[in-house]
Amino acid sequence: MIIGIDLGTTNSLAAYYDGKTARVIPNRLGEHLTPSVVSVDDDGTILVGKTALARGLRHPLTAAAVFKRSMGTDREYNLCGQKFRAEELSSFVLRSLKEDAETYLKCRVDEAVISVPAYFNDRQRKATKRAGELAGLKVERIVNEPTAAAIAHGLLDRKERSRYLIFDLGGGTFDVSILERTGKIIEVRSVAGDNFLGGENFTDVIEQLFCTRCGVDPAAITGEERANLRERAESCKISLSGASSAVMECKIGGKVKTLRLTEKMYEDACQPLFERLMRPVERSLRDAGIRVSDISEIVLVGGATKASVVRKQAARMFGRLPNIDVNPDEVVAVGAALQSAIKQRAEGIREVILTDVCPFTLGTDVVMNNGYFEEGGHFMPIIERNTVIPVSRVQTFYTVSDNQQAVRVQVLQGESRIARNNLLLGEICVPLPPKPRGEESIDVTYTYDVNSLLEIIVKVNSTGFTKKMIIRGEGNTMTEEQAQKRMEELNYLKISPREQEENKLALFRADLAYEECTGDERILLGRYIDAFEGAMHKGDKEDTDRRREELLEFLSAIGR
């Protein structure tokens, strides 16, 4: 069974194709969204999702979130003495989604199509692929998030349209894609984005406003106070999506501080973020060679687009109201599931043809004459960004020195004209017969496919000597032996059992509420907690379920 997965910065979810349409798979709590949060319990158990989020509020040093932004880097997160890379934390989220899917579908799930931000580079994409493999999934296809959204939007709504722009603002990343649809063909024309701009940044704005106006020094508060501050800022942001003002209260240093925030104050403070949103939009339009007036429809995707300030800004950018008919939280997962159906040539959508583009320019470093002397370290594009894939391009290069005996071809990805500022993917060195400068040449062929695999062939034209390399590394500096060992280590980590998830979450909620309550409420809550824990210790499932529901009802009654 193949499923589609939206591995998000803030939330993740999975979907499948049932033969007629794509459906979102509920998690073990019966919800569609699983928070992309990982925590380690006191006994070393790995917690994922809402339970990890709840534990992180009381024990912030035991939880990690927003780690998607570190995919493909060597950054490590220290949780209770255990160190994890971003792809390893992501693998726990993916494994949780895999288990939920297998339970819901009642069959084994061994393959997935996983979505990534369109502007993820080669290293980040391969780190995502490795995360899937660590979770026990075969990942043969990585699909761009805006492309997945477009697939869902275009296939679930069969109306004809010419061009549409996908405005994808998630929890931690921002992507813009322009697509053109002609009959059964969906063609990606251009992509652009910002991998460090998302809903988290809009929460940052509220947090900063609160600290500034309430005289709070973020560096002087405790970790638990910081986690609580973050939670209250997030709640305030959500409240402002449906009201003209909101009140944010937070206990700092034993005192409750209050901020009344109006939508206008919030909007003014978000102006720097709006400017950052505009840059990828302008770039995508420029790369596609079209104007805003040429766009038939603007489609908002990603949970952060539910904010009214973002929707208003999008309307100002494009001079029209954007389409908000699709569920911004679920559309990417639905599109990934449809992509898996396309991959399997499922009945009903077999006729759909999808083309994608290379999100970054691929090239090499060369020596150029700057008008005064020859200077190395310049970037020469071979496959330009937003070229339709699969694609193959050949570029001929000539020697720059007399009797040059070898040439090194660096494979680079990026947009900077300075070679060292781009991402080095690999290199090939080939021997040359000694000749006067300019008389020997090589052909360099780059071939890039839909799975983000890059093949490089370097041919010495005078001798016919050829050397080939396929770049499909795992997105980090680990050797294959190290990678295999790490996979074996992760297989033995304890993962919180599915059947304990609801109980753990209820206890975390209750413990947090107990700390905030006083008087009779606290006494009554303590009794409910004791009764619930007593039922758990006895192992009586029926009594445990009943006591849990009683506890949750009481928490709701007191507004917790």
Pairwise CA distance, residues 147 & 191, whole Å: 9
Using CA atoms of 397, 401, 406, 412 in order, give the dihedral in degrees to the nearest 10. -50
Tally of CB atoms within 10 A around 482:
12
Catalytic residue among 99, 168, 356, 440: 168
Q: What angle do CA 505, 511, 517 make, to 5 degrees?
A: 135
The residue type of 440 is: E
Going from the C-alpha of 200 to that of each of 6, 66, 174, 365, the distances in angstroms are: 17, 8, 11, 36
Q: Which among 343, 367, 363 has a CA at the least distance from the CA of 410?
A: 363
Nearest to 109 by CA among 21, 19, 5: 5
Known catalytic residue at 68: yes
Exposure on the CB side of residue 152, measured as CA atoms within 13 A: 33
Is residue 83 annotated as a catalytic residue, yes or no?
Answer: no
Cis-peptide into 381, omega within 30 deg: no
Cβ-count burial of 354 within 10 angstroms (0-12 exposed, 13-18 middle, 19+ buried)? buried
- C-alpha Rg value of the chain to the nearest Å: 26
d(CA 336, CA 376): 43
186 contact partners, CB below 8 Å, separation of at least 6: 150, 151, 154, 179, 180, 352, 353, 354, 355
Contact yes or no for 335/143 (Cβ under 8 A): yes
- Alpha carbon distance 406, 402 (integer Å): 11
Q: Which of 68, 98, 129, 504 is catalytic?
A: 68
Angle between helices 86-105 and 480-491 (to 10 degrees): 50
Is 159 noted as a catalytic residue in this protein? no
Are 338 and 151 contacting, i.e. CB atoms less than 8 angstroms apart?
A: yes
Strand 163-169 versus strand 297-301 pairing type? parallel
**Active-site annotation holder among 88, 99, 122, 145:** 145
- Concerning whether 467 is annotated as a catalytic residue, the answer is no
d(CA 159, CA 517): 54
So which residues are the catalytic ones?
6, 68, 145, 168
